Amino acid sequence: MSKFVNLLKLSVGTESVEQLIDWQRHRSKQIHRGQYYHQTRMWPKREAEILNGGSIYWVIKGEISARQRILRLDEKIGADGIRRCGIVLDPEVIPTVTALRRPFQGWRYLAPEDAPADLPKGRAGETALPAELNRALADIGVL
């Protein structure tokens, strides 16, 4: 089995998976040759593992809610001359089972065994549990 690692990133200001998709497709300026990329200051040290099948898992309103496959890492040089990393993402945003996450800055590595499962295709449109109920179930070990 291939060894890979995922990234975990807050989607600040995003209210829903649908809003994340709309932002990436219609409002973001971070598109190059028709592909959305998420720009970050730091270059991942575990690049080879990320590119071996990793995804970026998006935290929306305190919960991991979706993921996108990472296609490649592109060098981006800003107007200030500073090298940044453009994380080029597959356009398909895959809703996941929600999992609570506390706020953090930047991104974190996420081991495959710690990543929430994808929602089955027929359940992608389901409404998530209210955050309070989700937290309570997580506290007692049900989720």
| Each residue's pLDDT tens digit, 87-143 | 999 999 999 999 999 888 889 999 999 999 999 876 545 555 565 665 566 556 555
What is the model's pLDDT at position 125?
Answer: 53
- pLDDT at residue 25, rounded to an integer: 86
Task: Say if residues 34 and 59 touch (Cβ distance below 8 Å).
Answer: no
pLDDT tens, 6-32? Answer: 999 999 989 999 999 998 888 777 777
pLDDT, mean over the chain: 86
Torsion angles phi and psi, residue 127, rounded to 5: -75, 135
- Report the predicted TM-score, pTM, of the whole model to 2 decimal places: 0.81
Query: Residue ranges per domain, the chain?
Result: 6-139
